[in-house]
Amino acid sequence: MKAKHEPELLHLDLDMLVVSKPSGLPTVPDGYDTDRPYLAAMLEPTFGQLWVVHRLDRDTSGVVVLARNAEAHKSLSAQFQEHRVVKVYHALVMGHPTWQQRSLSAPLRVDADRQHRTIIDLEAGKPATTHFRLLEKFQSPRVQVALVEATPKHGRTHQIRVHLCALGMPVAADPLYGTGTPLMLSAIKRQYRPGEDDERPLIGRLALHALSITLTHPTTGKTHTFEAPYPKDLATALKQLRKHASRQTQSMWAGV
């Protein structure tokens, strides 16, 4: 059985390694906890030396691409730097979007305070654009939640989280840009009756998942899309929302 923080292999060839990173595992060494396990170090004993091409936040789950040689690293890094890689994320957000699609362009400045948050800075920030698409909306007596797809044009630190916060819909359980409150079954299920044990969160970590990456293979030149399935906690949260909360999908608000 796969350990809680063990990445799932999605693709392997001579140039690239693609995995699904679990939430809670840093991509690179933690500057504050040097003994903490991180993605590359866990993989290298099995796959040899790896080059980190891009990163995910520690608590974000999903697809990560690593290079297996210097030439592949150079090619892949150039694609990310030139914004030629298409990255798609799914997020559970708190609130109800009134839009079906929305793009936000707001320049960002990283490490802007003692909590190392990223902020919108119209003067000193770097360009950052994110395209959003509403997938589902859920209504319950205690909370409003939505499933949103996010496609960032740029790859700034915490970009999706900051832009969603700016739209008034922080990612569920985000401790840095939201309240950090876990999503609980008791918040969405009518006449909830707790069992003998204390209730556990449906999802108690940042509800953001890197669903897919589309890029050009560094050797063959072919376009590939790699997709990471939802992790168990996110899949369970969606299952319970669809079961117990009032639900609207794209077809409903499109009048189909």
The pair of three-digit structure tokens given for residue 135, joined into one six-digit string: 């997938």
Whole-angstrom CA distances from 64 to 10, 41, 49, 84 are: 9, 14, 16, 16
Identify whether 57 is a catalytic site residue: yes
- Is 51 in a helix, a strand, or coil? strand
| Rounded-to-integer distance, Cα 89 and Cα 24, Å | 17
Using CB atoms within 10 Å of the CB of residue 1, give its burial: 0 to 12 exposed, 13 to 18 middle, 19+ buried.
Answer: exposed
- Contact between 143 and 181 under an 8 Å Cβ cutoff? The reply is no
3-state SS of the chain: helix, strand, coil percent to 5?
20, 30, 50
Q: Which of 57, 59, 174, 233 is catalytic?
A: 57
* 11: β partners: 18
Instruction: In whole angstroms, give the CA distance from residue 110 to residue 112.
Output: 5
> Which residues are tagged catalytic?
57
